[in-house]
């Protein structure tokens, strides 16, 4: 079974530039999450999708961040414009909505963003 | 609010030493508890979990017991290997996985 796929793995941009991250969850996983992980810290949730609906985006800085999950499968997270403080690893995770493993999240390898 | 506190690292051990990484939690309600591991350059992998008091999660020689009376979920392994070198995260989630909170992580280095 393929895991959560993310691309790119690394991205270096200058401040004020836009950037986008892509995630393909595990097949059949209805729930998709985007996290930000700052250096030396644990992941913090940015947004959670149930199918194509964003059900928790309270921690997403909506002035510069946006996300979409068209057709309830792949998802894209965008930052425009990027700021120096956005440098972090952006993790995507997915999980089943029900069943014995419903509360287990499976993570992708992440995208390491460096803003110069 | 809901949060997890885990012992600060880094932790450095010799191969075959005993490992304990402490984790305590604060939660309104009855959380599920998790340990995730992150190897260099990789995403987080679920190591073990427990969903109710006195449950013991175990995997790859690691164990953790859900202690409601002490609000703890300490990770233990009897004999660590060099390949266990990684960052370990304690986490909790409430209800239907809609609020996963992670600790800051503990970096473990095992030397041969």
**Which of A45, A48, A109 lies at the smallest CB-CB distance from B43?**
A109
Per the CB < 8 A criterion, the answer to whether A33 and A48 are in contact is: yes
* Nearest CA-CA distance, residue A83 and chain B, Å: 23
The DSSP string of A28-71 is T--EEEEEEE-TTS--EEEEEEETTEEEE-TTS-TTTEEEE-GG
Q: How many Cβ contacts (< 8 angstroms) between chains A and B?
A: 56
pLDDT in tens, A46-83: 999 999 999 888 889 999 999 999 888 999 999 999 99
The residue of A34, A42, A89 whose CB has the most chain B CBs within 10 angstroms, and thus the best one to mutate to test that interface, is A42
CA distance B63 to B51: 14
DSSP state of B28: S
The pair phi, psi for residue A19, each rounded to 5°, is: -150, 150
| CA-based radius of gyration for chain B | 13
- Three-state DSSP class for B85? coil
Burial label, B5 (beta-carbon count in 10 A; 0-12, 13-18, 19+): middle
Exposed e or buried b per residue across A41-53, where buried means at least 16 C-beta atoms within 10 angstroms of its C-beta: ebbebbbbbbeee
B29 lies within 8 A of chain A by CB: no
Nearest CA in chain B to A106: B45
* Nearest CA-CA distance, residue A13 and chain B, Å: 20
User: pLDDT (tens digit, 0 to 9) for every residue of chain B, 112 residues total?
Assistant: 789 999 888 999 999 999 999 999 999 888 999 999 999 888 899 999 998 999 999 999 999 999 999 999 999 999 999 999 999 999 998 865 567 899 999 999 999 9
Predicted local confidence at residue B5, as pLDDT: 95
B70 lies within 8 A of chain A by CB: no
Pairing between strand B44-50 and B32-38? antiparallel
Q: Is the pLDDT of residue A1 over 90?
A: no
Average pLDDT score, chain A? 92
Q: Name the residue with tokens 């996290």.
A: A35
| Cis ω before A113 (30° cut-off from 0) | no
* Torsion-angle region of B23 (φ positive above 0: left; ψ -120 to 50: alpha; else: beta): beta
What tokens does B111 get?
């030397």
* Nearest CA-CA distance, residue A41 and chain B, Å: 4
For residue B8, the tally of other CB atoms under 10 A from its CB is 12
Predicted local confidence at residue B58, as pLDDT: 97
Residues forming beta bridges with residue B88, ordered by sequence position: B37, B106
């Amino acid at each position: 079974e393929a895991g959560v796929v993310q691309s790119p793995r690394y991205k270096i941009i200058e401040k004020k530039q836009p950037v986008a991250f892509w995630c393909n969850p595990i097949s059949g996983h209805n729930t998709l999450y985007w996290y930000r992980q700052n250096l030396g810290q644990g992941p913090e949730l940015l947004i959670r999708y149930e199918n194509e609906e964003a059900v928790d985006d309270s921690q997403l800085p909506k002035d510069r961040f946006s996300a979409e999950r068209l057709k309830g499968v792949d998802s894209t997270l965008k930052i425009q414009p990027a700021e120096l403080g956005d440098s972090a690893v952006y993790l995507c995770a997915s999980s089943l909505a029900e069943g014995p493993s419903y509360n287990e999240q499976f993570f992708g390898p992440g995208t390491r963003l460096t803003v110069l | 609010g809901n949060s997890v506190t885990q012992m600060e690292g880094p932790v450095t051990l010799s191969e075959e030493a005993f490992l304990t990484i402490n984790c305590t939690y604060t939660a309104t309600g009855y959380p599920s508890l998790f340990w995730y591991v992150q190897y260099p350059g990789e995403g987080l992998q679920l190591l073990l979990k427990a969903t109710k008091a006195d449950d013991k999660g175990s995997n790859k020689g690691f164990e953790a017991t859900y202690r409601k009376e002490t609000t703890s979920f300490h990770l233990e392994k009897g004999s660590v290997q060099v390949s266990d070198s990684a960052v370990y995260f304690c986490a909790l989630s409430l209800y239907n996985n809609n609020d996963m909170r992670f600790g800051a992580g503990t970096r473990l280095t095992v030397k041969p």
